[in-house]
Amino acid sequence: MVKSLFSLGALLLGSAFLLFAGGVNALILPIRGEAEGFTAASLGLLGTGWAIGYVAGCLRTPALVARVGHIRAFGAMCAIAAIAVLISLVLITPWVWIPVRALSGFCFAGAAMIVESWLNERTEASSRGRVFGIYTMVNLASTTAGQMVLMLGDANGYFFFVLAAMVYCLALLPTAMSATTTPRPLTKVSLNLRGLWRNSPIAFFAVLMVGVSNASFGTLAAVYAARVGLTLGDIALFASIPILAGAAMQIPVGIASDRLDRRKVLIGIAGFALLADALFLLTGVTNPVVVLSLSALFGATVFAMYPVIVAHANDHAEPGTYIQVSGGLLLVYGLGSIIGPTAAGVSMTLFGASSLFAVTGTAHVLLLGFAVVRLRTAPAVTTENKVAFQSKPMARVSTPETVAFGADQAELDADQSEGDEAPGDLAEKDPRE
């Protein structure tokens, strides 16, 4: 295992640099934009731009890699991402930042897919689960470190923009200097909305609402924190604590969802998320300790929903379509991520900072209501027919390659034997819950 990890070290290091730079860039933009007097609506469009670029990157990168190769494509993605950060420093206006943020999303998705494809190729079946777990922890730690580093300086200068650009360039080096062989072609997943709905209506609707909620918070949390008077250090904590809380909650949530009806677990999580929304919205808290505590409750719920939704969808998936179903849900999450930040930004501009949680709360109310209806109208999956729950990294930084890398060997074998003729297509069948 140690020898295997050593051989994968260059790829894990490249991924760590990529996620660190992404963490810095994602947080410095709303903080600096707020300081420059950008409206919350324009800052929300940064998240919308990122989501559009990210979904496009997931869909288009396989064709690009097939044309120019993994190393050249990865180098181009990292270089353009670094240039995009520097453009944001030179031209400080939302009408430049929004399209540049979309370009960053495209490059980030493409670079992540290439790294994950390499890791997938170099990982033996016997160690796949452990390597994926280590990869997930590396990415979580790197994203958190990238956000927390903002505690060390002044957001009004150029340092953090240059730092993010430098680290994007550093991400080039491990793969460029590695002797690893070029991996197989990247995973392709088509966006078959009708097939995803027929596979599991609740999974489709829930992941769309989670995309709305999580992207709204991920994009505008720093703006909310700044407007309620938190310091730069507290803003970094406000953005990082929910991610860590969500990661910690995946273990107990996973155990519960394997033993109970996953829809009931999802309803319970949505209920606690709605409680956090209400406390933020109605109490108007400004005390840093209270705000950070509520952010932990919020993150523990909203970032634990996605893996439950994916597991529920895979409970209903036909053999040979697990990767297609999970990858399709990821792209539906991306569609929700396009809607959410725009709605939240407009709401915050018109009604104040706390209305961010009116948008997330609306998404959670709709999710909860739809889940209750489905719970009453469709039978539960029996325990013996459930797939095993798997912890998932944040959907915001996941790609179809993440899905393929995280799949167990049985899922890979099924997809290869039954899904080769029509990749990305989902079986047509009646809705089941």
Give pLDDT tens digits for 362-394. Answer: 999 999 999 998 888 876 666 656 666 666 667
Indicate if the pLDDT at residue 424 is higher than 50.
no
- Whether 114 is covered by a domain: the verdict is yes
pLDDT score of 237: 92
Within-domain flag for 433: no
Question: For position 350, which CATH number holds?
Answer: 1.20.1250.20
Per residue in 183-192, pLDDT (tens digit) is: 677 777 777 7
Tell me, yes or no, whether 99 lies in a domain: yes
Helices 159-170 and 9-35 cross at an angle (nearest 10°) of 160
The three-point CA angle 114-116-117 to 5° equals 65
Residue range 313-345, pLDDT digits in tens: 887 777 666 777 878 888 899 999 999 999 999
Question: 378 lies in a domain?
Answer: yes
296, HSE (Cβ side, Cα atoms, 13 Å): 9
Joined tokens for residue 251 = 């273990």
Q: 50 vs 164, 186, 353, 382, CA distance in Å?
A: 16, 21, 21, 39
**CB 161, CB 88: distance < 8 Å:** yes
Long-range contacts of 294-297 (CB under 8 A, 24+ apart): 295/221, 295/237, 295/238, 295/241, 295/242, 295/245, 296/241, 296/242, 296/245, 297/245, 297/272
Out of 138-142, 281-285, 366-370, 421-425, pick the least confident: 421-425
In 3D space, the residue among 110, 114, 137 whose CA is nearest the CA of residue 54 turns out to be: 110
The tokens describing 416, both together, are 């290869």
Closest Cα partner for 219 from 351, 320, 348, 120?
348
Whether residue 52 contacts residue 338, with contact meaning beta carbons closer than 8 Å, is answered with yes
Domain count for the chain: 1
How many Cα atoms sit within 13 Å of 89 on the Cβ side?
19
Statement: residue 249 has pLDDT above 70: yes
Band of pLDDT at residue 404, cut at 50, 70 and 90: confident
Confidence band for 357, pLDDT divided at 50, 70 and 90: very high
Residue 425, domain member (yes or no): no
Give the per-residue pLDDT at 275.
Answer: 95
Rg of the chain over Cα atoms, rounded to whole angstroms, equals: 20
Segment 129-144 shows an average pLDDT of 83
The domain in which residue 198 lies consists of: 2-418
pTM here is 0.87
Q: What single DSSP character describes residue 317? A: P
pLDDT: is 113 or 296 the higher one?
A: 296
Is residue 167 pLDDT above 70, yes or no? yes
